[in-house]
């Protein structure tokens, strides 16, 4: 029973798909199938039940996975540590981040700075709003925006970078034509641009800067969209008043109801717990706090990776 067959089986078990395992291992799907069949023959047990649409482990397969998955990861970490000891950061760095955050100009600019500092690192960035399984999908680092504390998981390490504060903004042109509301109740008479996420498009949950509980502020939106960058462009174009992270406001916009704001979101780095990290991952973890420290967070007002 070889390590190649065991590694292939573990990838199949963790991804739930022969094709996904083949992509991770960079081999044809037929090779994955042959390796899996060879391992089952050697063990004399069926490890995986396969149908046209699904794949699941047998009782024997679950037992083999439980015993072999962590030792294989340990072997990979030892090999990586020996290979990368005192080495210059290089190779592919796989990152995942929420779409609202990672498609902003500041985030892209910061990644460009990282690449300029470490030119031998190749970045693979996956923009998604789902919570990625970093271990199963072999992702190095996730950048997550979250309102609630992240779950405490022994398989993951977390480093909080700072807060993302959002408020209401409108363009100079919109204000010149329509004026500004004097209180949250006045928003109902204004064109509002909002997100379809969270509480929906009929109210904004805001708090006074002086403190207090959340207040559902009613609005009558003229534009509802599920993308924060679309809202930013719409507000700049004069479509109405909309919620934006303070760091994304920029010239040409006016703060609306400056004594009111949205609940602050947290920005964190998350990565798989390991005995040793590759130089490229260590470099990224050390580099990001300088760019996304408190007061410099460029991200969206919610979501997750």
Q: Under a CB-based contact definition with an 8 Å cutoff, are residues 262 and 197 in contact? A: no
List the end-to-end C-alpha distance of the chain, in Å, as a whole number. Answer: 37
pLDDT tens for the chain, 305 residues: list them. 678 888 899 888 888 888 888 988 889 999 999 999 999 999 999 999 887 677 889 999 899 888 888 787 777 766 666 665 557 889 999 999 988 777 677 788 889 999 999 999 999 999 888 888 888 888 999 998 887 777 777 778 999 888 888 899 999 999 999 999 999 999 998 999 998 765 557 889 898 887 778 888 999 899 998 888 889 899 999 999 999 988 777 789 999 999 998 888 888 999 988 656 888 999 999 998 876 554 444 443 333 34
Q: What strands, in cross-sheet order, belong to the sheet with 203-208?
A: 215-218, 203-208, 260-261
Three-state secondary-structure class, residue 304: coil
Q: Under a CB-based contact definition with an 8 Å cutoff, are residues 272 and 235 in contact? A: no
At how many degrees (to 10) do helices 29-43 and 3-15 cross?
Answer: 110
Q: What are phi and psi of 116, to 5 degrees?
A: -65, -35
Taking the C-alpha atoms of residue 97 and residue 125, their distance in angstroms, rounded to an integer, is: 8
Q: Which of 93, 33, 109 is nearest to 296 (CA)?
A: 109
How open is the CA angle 32-35-26, to the nearest 5 degrees?
35
Instruction: State which fold the 166-261 domain adopts.
Output: D-Maltodextrin-Binding Protein; domain 2 (3.40.190)
Q: Which of 187, 173, 298 is nearest to 246 (CA)?
A: 298
Q: Comparing 91-164+265-291 with 166-261, is the CATH topology the same?
A: yes
Q: Give the number of other CB atoms < 10 A from CB of residue 66.
A: 11
Token look-up 């990672």 returns 102
- Whole-model pTM: value is 0.63
DSSP conformational letter for 187:
G
Q: Which of 144, 257, 281 is nearest to 209 (CA)?
A: 257
Taking the C-alpha atoms of residue 225 and residue 276, their distance in angstroms, rounded to an integer, is: 42
Instruction: Provide CATH code, domain 3-84.
Output: 1.10.10.10
Run of H or E including 236: helix 228-236
Token look-up 């590759």 returns 278
Instruction: State which fold the 91-164+265-291 domain adopts.
Output: D-Maltodextrin-Binding Protein; domain 2 (3.40.190)
Task: Report domain extents, the chain.
Answer: 3-84, 91-164+265-291, 166-261
């Amino acid at each position: 029973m070889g390590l190649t067959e065991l590694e292939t089986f573990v990838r199949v078990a963790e991804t739930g798909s022969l094709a996904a395992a083949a992509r991770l291992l960079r081999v044809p799907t037929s090779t994955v199938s042959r390796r899996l069949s060879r391992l089952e023959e050697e063990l004399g047990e069926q490890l995986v039940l396969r149908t046209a649409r699904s794949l699941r482990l047998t009782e024997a397969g679950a037992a083999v996975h439980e015993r072999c998955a962590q030792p294989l990861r340990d072997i990979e970490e030892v090999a990586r540590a020996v290979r990368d000891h005192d080495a210059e950061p290089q190779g592919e760095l796989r990152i995942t981040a929420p779409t609202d955050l990672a498609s902003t100009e500041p985030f892209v600019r910061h990644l460009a700075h990282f690449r300029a500092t470490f030119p031998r690192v190749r970045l693979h960035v996956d923009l998604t709003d789902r919570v990625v399984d970093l271990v199963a999908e072999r992702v190095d680092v996730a950048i997550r925006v979250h309102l609630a504390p992240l779950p405490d998981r022994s398989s993951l390490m977390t480093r909080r970078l700072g807060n993302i504060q959002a408020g209401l903004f409108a363009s100079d042109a919109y204000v010149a034509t329509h004026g500004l509301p004097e209180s949250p109740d006045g928003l109902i008479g204004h064109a509002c641009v909002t997100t379809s996420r969270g509480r929906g498009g009929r109210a904004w949950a805001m708090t006074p800067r002086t403190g207090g509980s959340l207040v559902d502020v009613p609005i009558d939106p003229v534009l509802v969209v599920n993308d924060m960058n679309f809202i930013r462009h719409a507000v700049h174009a004069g479509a109405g008043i909309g919620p934006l992270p303070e760091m994304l406001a920029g010239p040409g916009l006016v703060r609306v109801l400056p004594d009111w704001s949205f609940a602050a979101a947290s920005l964190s780095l998350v990565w798989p717990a390991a005995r040793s990290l590759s130089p490229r991952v260590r470099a990224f973890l050390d580099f990001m706090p300088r760019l996304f420290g408190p007061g410099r967070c460029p991200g969206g007002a919610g979501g997750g990776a």
